[in-house]
Amino acid sequence: MVDTQTLWDQLNALERHVAPTYAALADYVREAPVLGADETTWKLMEPGKTKTWWAWGLTRPDAVIYEIRGSRSGATAESVLNGFDGIVLCDGYGAYRTLTTARGDRAGRR
């Protein structure tokens, strides 16, 4: 059996190697003129409790990225979109509407 600290150390080491590739992929996804966006719950098990996080997904026809965040607020949506200025295809969740209103985007009038 491998203890949890060993697994964590391995994941931490792996992250240092894949982080530049993930960053380049995220930039590529956000360069698309149209993105799909969605978020869903992600349960994080901690000793004695379960905490709900959110898995945010951004998609374009040929690529997808995911980010795990502790919230699904409008501020989190803005952070996940990271300055994206194109068209976002999404459901009616209020965080996206908040962004549209705050930015004064033309999309809010469609």
Global pTM reads 0.79
pLDDT at 108: 47
- pLDDT band with cut points at 50, 70 and 90 for residue 63: very high
Q: How far apart are CA 55 and CA 19, in angstroms?
A: 18
Q: How far apart are CA 70 and CA 8, in angstroms?
A: 20
Query: Sign of the CA dihedral 71, 72, 77, 82?
Result: positive
pLDDT at 102: 63
Q: What is the DSSP string of 52-79?
A: EEEEEEEEETTEEEEEEES--SHHHHHH
- pLDDT band with cut points at 50, 70 and 90 for residue 83: confident
**Summary mean pLDDT of the chain:** 88
pLDDT above 60 (res 36)? yes
